[in-house]
A and B are shown apart, each in its own frame.
Chain A
Amino acid sequence: MKRVFQDVVGGFKSLLTGMRITLQQFFKKDVTVRYPHESLKMAKRYRGHVVLVNDPETGKSLCVACKSCEKACPSDCIVVEGLKREGEKKKSVTDFQLDFTRCSLCGSCVEVCPSDALEFSKDYNLASTSKEQFVRIDLVRRADEGKKPETGEGQA
């Protein structure tokens, strides 16, 4: 009998404690970000999809078409083609296709790249209504167009 009484009174007190805690939270500030209206800046090391980097001086791609990334990629989603032009010491890239539908954003390609020609983009709103947009992303053209959305705002 005494145990039941203690159970009821103690239990009721625990319920009141719980209600006190939620009421305290009620008057605190929101913790959420109102996403479409405001968005967070992506971390410096954020791993988005990869992009090719052009040499800021010459405007040409740093990629030497060594195909290390192609070999390192666990999902076979990179295809690189390059050729050696006359009068140049290194090979240069002619085609760099990324199949983003298979990419798992692991970053192996960026790590193995000997010429630092790859980096992560900060895009995270990678959404589209058609699959074709992601099957063959031409990174050479993307780099030449100077599309470098690193503002941390989410536009694809």
Chain B
Amino acid sequence: MLLEKVQTADAAAGAPHETFVLNLGPQHPATHGVLRVKLTMDGEFILRAEPVPGYIHRMHEKMGENRNWSQFLPNTSRIDYLSAMTYTHAFVLLVERAAGLEVPPRAEYLRVITSELNRISSHLVWFGAFLLDLGGFTPLLYAFDDREKILDLLESVTGSRLTYCYYRFGGLCNDVDEAFLSGTRDFVAYMRPRLDMYRQLVTDNIILRKRLEGIGKVDGEMCRRYGATGPVIRGAGVPNDVRRVEPYSIYPELDFRVPVYPEGDCMARYLVRMDEMEQSLRMVEQAIAKLPEGPVLGKVPRMIKLPAGDYYCAVEAARGRFAIRAVSDGKEIPYRLKLRTPSFCNLSLFEEASRGMMLPDALALMGSLDLVIPDIDR
């Protein structure tokens, strides 16, 4: 490794060995929020990186123990604000499975359409922010232009641009109109050439390739040890996608590929996400074509009470496996809610993976993990 070479050369030259501590954050342009990383550095090489989360801890789990099941719904959109739909999906899925609620098929299809649109918008934010970490400013604005179109579509259905809170136990809060469906079809047609443009402008760019290839190697074994999921583990050659391995909703009926790259470097994670956008477009297209008519909300009791027990439900959020574990004692308020957020697990491998890296490479690694800080702290 480069660090060892430099250290041996330093020692041979008789240079005094000194390290210093660099405080990256809680306000730093590369941490996209309030994450603090204490870096012990040897020159520009990182000897030890110690993430210090907790600056935006909002007690979502504790809040869950203080309000009834349906009152917790708005919270689910706010844990990871970039993929609000999938997080709400996990929670409604858990309650539906536990209480045995029927979900009309139209609602299931619309959940997949909105979830996948949300996944694309989340990946677009990551794409822009990642390029920003790498010093390229313009792709961010192109990505936000595309994301805006998704947000407009979702706003026309849910009334909100970020914290949608669209799903309800047993269905959705309201139906979509024809304008949304045609708008989504137009968007799919618009987005394909845009993805091609991103490939030409960014993916093929030699500077980007040189910066990402072989940088931040993470293997499947390390991912398992830290519980890293989503594009991180798929970029390390493990085809682990909750939509495939623990299917939910109508995903088994859709034809999609789980992109996997074996290299395990930043480029692999980058490519996984870029391919996922393409696959999400395909899923949206198929779901719209198959969309059945009917109600969007099934029969639901006025006050939800889960039978006493221990429930667990996972979905594939944009950043990886998001799971909720709920313990119910039969009352209308959960006894315990545990949120397993993907960013937290993905961050935990940063300390090991960043050892011996140079600062800009470590920031590329951090960017490729696609961290959302409120998702880490919850």
The answer to whether A and B interact is yes
Is B159 in contact with A43, judged by CB distance below 8 angstroms?
Answer: yes
Is A14 in contact with B205, judged by CB distance below 8 angstroms?
Answer: yes
A46 CA / B138 CA spacing, docked (Å): 30
Instruction: Give the interface segment out of A18-26, A81-89, A125-133, A138-146.
Output: A18-26
Q: In this assembly, does A149 line the interface, its C-beta being within 8 Å of a C-beta of chain B?
A: no
Which A residues are CB-close (under 8 A) to B204? Answer: 14, 17
Is A45 in contact with B74, judged by CB distance below 8 angstroms?
Answer: no
B contact residues, range: 20 to 34
Is B206 in contact with A15, judged by CB distance below 8 angstroms?
Answer: yes
Q: In this assembly, does A44 line the interface, its C-beta being within 8 Å of a C-beta of chain B?
A: yes
Q: In this assembly, does A137 line the interface, its C-beta being within 8 Å of a C-beta of chain B?
A: no
Residue in A21, A22, A43, A107 with the greatest tally of chain B CB atoms within 10 Å: A43
A44 CA / B70 CA spacing, docked (Å): 25
Which B residues are CB-close (under 8 A) to A14? Answer: 204-206
Question: Assuming the A-B contacts A72-B71, A106-B74, A111-B173, are A25 and B155 also in contact, with contact meaning beta carbons closer than 8 angstroms in the complex?
Answer: no
Distance between A124 CB and nearest chain B CB, rounded to angstroms: 10
Question: Assuming the A-B contacts A15-B207, A17-B201, are A45 and B156 also in contact, with contact meaning beta carbons closer than 8 angstroms in the complex?
Answer: yes
A80 CA / B245 CA spacing, docked (Å): 48
Which A residues are CB-close (under 8 A) to B148? Answer: 31
A97 CA / B325 CA spacing, docked (Å): 36
Report A9-37 CB contacts with B as 1/0, cut-off 8 Å: 01110110110011001000001000000
Which B residues are CB-close (under 8 A) to A21? Answer: 197, 200-201
A111 CA / B173 CA spacing, docked (Å): 9
Q: In this assembly, does B322 line the interface, its C-beta being within 8 Å of a C-beta of chain A?
A: no
Is A22 in contact with B74, judged by CB distance below 8 angstroms?
Answer: no
Is A31 in contact with B74, judged by CB distance below 8 angstroms?
Answer: no
Question: Assuming the A-B contacts A31-B145, A106-B74, are A22 and B156 also in contact, with contact meaning beta carbons closer than 8 angstroms in the complex?
Answer: no
Please report A residues at the B interface, Cβ cutoff 8 Å: 7, 10-12, 14-15, 17-18, 21-22, 25, 31, 43-47, 72-74, 104-108, 111, 120
